[in-house]
Amino acid sequence: MAQGGVALNLSSNAVTVLERRYLKKDDKGRVVETSDELFWRVAEHAAQVDARYDPAADVAATADKFYRTMAKLEFLPNSPTLMNAGRSLGQLSACFVLPIEDSMESIFETIKNTALIHQSGGGTGFSFSRLRPKGDIVKSTGGVASGPISFMEVFDAATEAIKQGGARRGANMAILRVDHPDIMDFITAKADEQRLNNFNLSVGLTREFMEALRRSATHPLVNPRSKEVVRRLRAREVFHKISEMAWKNGDPGVVFLDKLNEGNPTPQVGEIESTNPCGEQPLLPFESCNLGSINLSKMVTDGKIDYRHLGQTVHCAIHFLDNVVDCNNYPLPQIREMTLANRKIGLGVMGFAHMLIRLGIPYNSEEALDTAEEIMAFIQEQARLTSATLAEQRGAFPNYEGSIYDVPGGRKMRNATVTTVAPTGTISIIAATSSGIEPIFALVYRRHVLDDDRLLEVNPVFAEVARAEGFYSKGLMNKVAETGSVQELDDVPPEIRRLFVTAHDIAPEWHIRIQGVFQKYTDNAVSKTINFPHQATREDVERAYLLAYDSGCKGVTVYRDGSRALQVLTKGLGDGESKSVVRRPRPRPTVTHGVTEKITVGCGQSIYVTINEDQRGLFEVFATMGKSGGCMASQSEAIGRLISLALRSGLEAEAIIRQLQGIRCPAPAWQEGNIILSCADAIGKAMQRHITDNDSHPFTSTGADITPMNLLGMCPECPDCGTMVEFVEGCLRCPSCGYSQCG
């Protein structure tokens, strides 16, 4: 039994993370603190603030309350608070935004300030939009500007050198407005995966740009120095490039700048231009924020949400986070001044996916959306009421006058913001629950952490349910380990498969709808990765961005599985290195949906190409022609089977199309002004049409020339009897049954 009467129940992975990153060490690097002592250290440091406002406050009782909610893993603050509270460094914030003005002095002053923040365990966000573009004039020297990208490289190098003392890697967010003249260079800045590895990139999309995109119009690029329009780009071309790069490796994401500022509670103080590295915390220049998350999986009692317990936890967490604002040791005086003036805090959640499972609700369901809305609305309401009560006891935040807030009864607020949904990467490991509002990534995976360490993660809730339902076995776990999913395992009951959906079992639309619902009741923003299967297309990414915008999200990040050489989470038991992978085709659902297209080919008959989809995209292709049992019929059936096998095994549709298009037979044909070189070419073009959904141009010409030489050689079979036809007198003719292409 730990001190204070709370039995710590930590997983082996939690112990590993705590020992590596959070617990005190002596001069020789040996751990000299227990996990229980860590929670007491943090609780007592935060609780002592009460005495500043009320000399008669029972600080010991507050410390006990804070300790219990952390030791029970019901609430945990952000990592810098766990690391540094009650220690000499004393820097407790995770999120910072620093300004960058268009001068060499400002740029390198910001680099210095960034180093100080990273050294203390914080992450930084910047807008590079004020910097003049590459090639612009520099009057003081008579030279030309090198542009924002070159200075991002300098920031990246400085971050690499710091490494935040080995406890928490440096992390940066770079945002560039979509109307900056260097925007296309910014979008492609991370095409090389070895470049800017300490940066997340996001394009700042404006309402004007989104309207131009809807109208297929152009939008202006404006020099931030002169405010002059230097040229115009087609909004759709810019949008395509953003989506293409995100499809390739996840960068850049997008933030919707106008939506960020619609949620800016203090517009009289300034405009929001950037966020923290994961995008969930929009901040003014020199502002910081303290985050913490409630473990929703601990808020379920007897199969129902325990709102009384949840409300108590919210009250405790808001009290804790407000105290952190006061006991924090700020790395810069400007940050201290701005943070104390707005007192922003961000209470979020983790364990949402585990909570749904305990409630018997699939993640990809309307019931999950309703639950998300209900629970986040409750958390925000209770958080604001607690902040209002603290304002009555301690005073409103200094910049309250002129702020935008809706609190019942017209009460003032202690904090400019109270809710944020953060990713909770490591604190969710400590709490042994699912991360943030993400679905379960995989039921078994390896997590990459500091210095390329790899931690094996096996979902504890699945193991618990498997044992309770009587289907747990070592053999089953080995099967699950192969893909991380149970959707293809017949020995797992259907109701369990429906409940234990993983990130890649869920269509991207559900990811976005969940994010949109949480955003509706979140003051700041929501960190969420929209997962795509490897075979997803660029068009899928574009649709996701548009849906996110229409759903009220403030930003969105997508990631297509396997699009980077190294990714933080790896499904199954692989170690993330290049190894041969055994692909297994996903099973066919009972019902699929698709289209059938009739295409006339060169031998005078038609091929019927049927393309079906499941929730992940293209799933199978059937190609039918001629009589059953004929040579051409068997070949077209074989092509369809092999395409279907490849699609179901995760190969990209585009790669298959590239192999099919351009294959020639002796008798090409024309259809609607486009050449069809062969049956295989017809199938490839039908697949391309299905993907692009371009009805006005059903086929893409390969540019091949038709000459008499193209028509020489072996001829195809007769569509009526299957005998090989002859090319005679400019026409295909069957010597057996008399069929003639020319009638």
By DSSP bridging, strand 569-571 and strand 674-676 are: unpaired
Q: What is d(CA 531, CA 561) in angstroms, rounded to the nearest whole number?
A: 7
Q: What is d(CA 687, CA 661) in angstroms, rounded to the nearest whole number?
A: 10
The two tokens of residue 559 are 């990631």
User: Which DSSP symbol is given to 683?
Assistant: H
Q: What is d(CA 570, CA 602) in angstroms, rounded to the nearest whole number?
A: 47
Q: What is d(CA 473, CA 182) in angstroms, rounded to the nearest whole number?
A: 56
DSSP for 21-80, please give it.
Answer: IIS-B-TTS-B---HHHHHHHHHHHHHTTHHHH-TT--HHHHHHHHHHHHHTTSEEE-HH
* Catalytic annotation present for 280: yes
Task: Give the number of other Cβ atoms within 10 Å of residue 532's Cβ.
Answer: 27
Which of the following is catalytic: 13, 264, 278, 323? 278
Cβ(573)–Cβ(454) below 8 Å: no
Helix (H, G, I), strand (E, B) or coil at 427: helix
Give the type of residue at 639. I
Helix (H, G, I), strand (E, B) or coil at 681: helix
Cβ(652)–Cβ(571) below 8 Å: no
* Catalytic annotation present for 273: no
Cβ(74)–Cβ(313) below 8 Å: yes
Instruction: List for the chain the helix, strand, coil content (%; round to 5).
Output: 40, 20, 40
Task: Give the number of other Cβ atoms within 10 Å of residue 93's Cβ.
Answer: 30
The two tokens of residue 264 are 């800016």
User: Which DSSP symbol is given to 225?
Assistant: T
If DSSP states are collapsed to H, E and C, what string results for 432-487?
A: CCCCCCCCECCCEEEEECHHHCEEEEECHHHHHHHHHHCCCCHHHHHHHHHHCCCC
Which of the following is catalytic: 74, 280, 542, 620? 280
Helix (H, G, I), strand (E, B) or coil at 348: strand
* Catalytic annotation present for 153: no
Cβ(415)–Cβ(343) below 8 Å: yes
Nearest to 420 by CA among 283, 592, 534: 283
Cβ(171)–Cβ(221) below 8 Å: no
Cβ(700)–Cβ(661) below 8 Å: yes
Phi-psi region of 163 (alpha: psi -120 to 50; beta: other; left: phi over 0): left
DSSP for 561-589, please give it.
Answer: TT-SSS-SEEETT--SS-------PPPPP
Q: Cβ contacts of residue 80 below 8 Å, gap of 6+?
A: 91, 92, 93, 94, 120, 121, 122, 168
Residues 48-79 as b or e (16 or more Cβ within 10 Å = b):
bbbeeeeeeeeeeebbbbbbbbbbbbbbbbbb
Task: Give the number of other Cβ atoms within 10 Å of residue 698's Cβ.
Answer: 17
Q: What is d(CA 126, CA 176) in angstroms, rounded to the nearest whole number?
A: 9
Beta strands in 98-235 (DSSP E): 123-127, 137-138, 143-144, 172-177, 199-205, 218-222, 229-234
Q: What is d(CA 281, CA 94) in angstroms, rounded to the nearest whole number?
A: 10
The residues annotated as belonging to the active site are 276, 278, 280
